[in-house]
Amino acid sequence: MKQFALKPTVQLFDTFAKFIEAVQPGPKDCIFTVKFLADTRFRPLNLESAILQFEDYGAGEPTDEMVDAILADFRKLDCERVIAVGGGSVIDIGKLLTLKATGKTLDFFQKTVEIAKDKELLLVPTTCGTGSEVTNIAIAGIPSKGTKMGLAVDALYADKAILVPELIHGLPEYVFVTSSLDALIHALESFVAPRSNLYAELFSMGAIRTILDGYKVFLREGRKATIPRLARSMMIASNYAGVAFGNTGVGAVHALSYPLGGVHHVPHGEANARLLSAVFGAYLAKDPTGRIRELSALISTTLEVPPWQDPWQALGQVIDLLLPAKPLREYGMLESEIESFADGVIENQQRLLVNNYVTLSRDEIRDIYRNLW
């Protein structure tokens, strides 16, 4: 029985210049990135590589229609290697670019065509959140279904995952917070997932400790001013969390956040943060004595919670300081969508729901939405 896998080679370069020196982009490469990085990092180097820009195809988190447009242009190029440099959306699309041209994006997500990789893939994250550089998962919004869908196949693994902490020194505070919260939730969900094991636990615990310790510095010493100092440790923590959930999966927090992101375009990390306490509260109510007890103790120790305080309450307070809470209706969610979102999660997110710490019924999922609405 497979216990654990770490497929991509992980490399770390402290500076962008050292990364370029090692990778040597050439005429058979396609660099997929965002306009800011294309203009400030890549074009000044006068590389012979093709460059595709995310913003040329749309804004916000990617949809299958957006990815289809990128695939159409990419398939006209004669490339042997894809170098995707950006946040989670760029990295996920970069994975899809390396697949054989057997169909459109929805075909891949529905697995109605052959899914095979035919190009080398280098993934370079520019946030400290998704951990997607070390997973075999790609996510996209599917407007026709009113949600997001995930594709998890080994053909999506990168050949190299490359960490360049310098690339997150200038992150806006909001992006730093929401991306790192996403990484934290990856680690929390991974730790209590049924498939978790001693190997994945090591990465989950490393991520949780590092991120929470980073938040203490961030909140105590000046927020944005501390981002360059925290960049290396938070990027590695995100990578740890990616390794963990890449082996165990994530559960209901992500499953319930997908309709919120797919319909109302709430950024992924923020959507997850809004659902975290409610989902884990439901877990604790159903089984407080299992692995979640170990997780509670880890949070308590790391946050130095006094004996009389609930560690999950303490964690919620930290998250509210980072990203003040607001009800789901303030994101545009309608009361009438509570039922349809619950139905959509049951219909479309079984890939994630099987990773829940305990089973949540359709009505329990509905009640989480209702209580947060």
For 253-298, what is each residue's pLDDT tens digit?
A: 999 999 999 899 899 999 999 999 999 999 999 999 999 999 999 9
pLDDT at residue 323 above 90?
yes
Structural domain includes residue 2: no
Residue 140, by phi and psi: left (phi above 0), alpha (psi -120 to 50) or beta?
beta
pLDDT at residue 2 above 80?
no
Range of the domain at 322: 170-372
Instruction: Give residue 148's pLDDT band: very low, low, confident or very high (50, 70, 90).
Output: confident
Give the side-chain half-sphere CA count within 13 A for 290.
14
Q: Tell me: do 109 and 182 sit in the same domain.
A: no
pLDDT at residue 82 above 80?
yes
β-pairing, 29-33 vs 81-86, is parallel
Structural domain includes residue 4: no
At 147 the pLDDT is 78
Task: Tell me the average pLDDT across 325-344.
Answer: 96
Count of C-beta atoms within a 10 Å radius of residue 24: 9
Task: Tell me the average pLDDT across 85-101.
Answer: 96
Q: Tell me: do 247 and 347 sit in the same domain.
A: yes
pLDDT at residue 117 above 80?
yes
pLDDT at residue 96 above 70?
yes
The structure tokens 């103790």 sit at 297
Structural domain includes residue 322: yes
Structural domain includes residue 122: yes
Q: Tell me: do 235 and 154 sit in the same domain.
A: no
| 221: helix, strand or coil | coil
Q: Tell me: do 180 and 315 sit in the same domain.
A: yes
At 1 the pLDDT is 59
Q: Tell me: do 136 and 272 sit in the same domain.
A: no
Q: Tally the domains of the chain.
A: 2
Q: How far is CA 275 from CA 47, 173, 259, 298, 359, in A?
A: 44, 21, 12, 20, 16
The mean pLDDT of the chain is 95
Question: Which domain-ending residue is among 135, 150, 167?
Answer: 167
Structural domain includes residue 52: yes
Percentage of the chain exceeding pLDDT 70: 99
C-alpha span between 272 and 324 (Å, rounded): 13
Question: Which domain-ending residue is among 149, 167, 185?
Answer: 167
| Cβ–Cβ under 8 Å, residues 162 and 120 | no
C-alpha span between 216 and 218 (Å, rounded): 5
Task: Tell me the average pLDDT across 145-158.
Answer: 89
Q: Give the tokens for residue 288.
A: 């407080």
Instruction: Find the CATH number of the domain harbouring 135.
Output: 3.40.50.1970
DSSP code at position 253: H
Instruction: Find the CATH number of the domain harbouring 266.
Output: 1.20.1090.10
Q: Say which amino acid occupies 330.
A: E
Question: Which domain-ending residue is among 110, 141, 167?
Answer: 167
Q: Tell me: do 163 and 93 sit in the same domain.
A: yes
Q: Tell me: do 141 and 223 sit in the same domain.
A: no
Give all strands (DSSP E) within 118-255, no chain letters: 120-125, 137-142, 147-152, 160-163
Query: Phi and psi (nearest 5°) for 219?
Result: -80, -30
Q: Kindly report which listed range (101-115, 119-133, 142-156) carries the lowest average pLDDT score.
A: 142-156
Give all strands (DSSP E) within 119-208, no chain letters: 120-125, 137-142, 147-152, 160-163
Q: Tell me: do 215 and 99 sit in the same domain.
A: no
Structural domain includes residue 214: yes
β-pairing, 137-142 vs 147-152, is antiparallel
Query: pLDDT for 189-227, tens place per residue?
Result: 999 999 999 999 999 999 999 999 999 999 999 777 899
Write the CB contacts of 24 (distance below 8 Å, at least 6 apart in sequence).
none
Percentage of the chain exceeding pLDDT 90: 89
C-alpha span between 199 and 102 (Å, rounded): 36
Give all strands (DSSP E) within the chain, no chain letters: 9-12, 29-33, 50-53, 81-86, 120-125, 137-142, 147-152, 160-163
Structural domain includes residue 3: no
Q: Give the tokens for residue 104.
A: 């459109």
Query: Phi and psi (nearest 5°) for 206?
Result: -60, -40
Q: Tell me: do 306 and 328 sit in the same domain.
A: yes
Q: Tell me: do 253 and 344 sit in the same domain.
A: yes
Q: Tell me: do 22 and 156 sit in the same domain.
A: yes
DSSP code at position 130: -
Write the CB contacts of 105 (distance below 8 Å, at least 6 apart in sequence).
64, 65, 67, 68, 71, 96, 140
More confident residue, 51 or 130: 51
- What's the chain's length in residues? 373
At 61 the pLDDT is 82
Structural domain includes residue 232: yes
* CA-atom Rg of the chain in angstroms: 20
**Closest to 290 (Cα-Cα) out of 196, 185, 362, 186:** 196
Q: Tell me: do 265 and 222 sit in the same domain.
A: yes
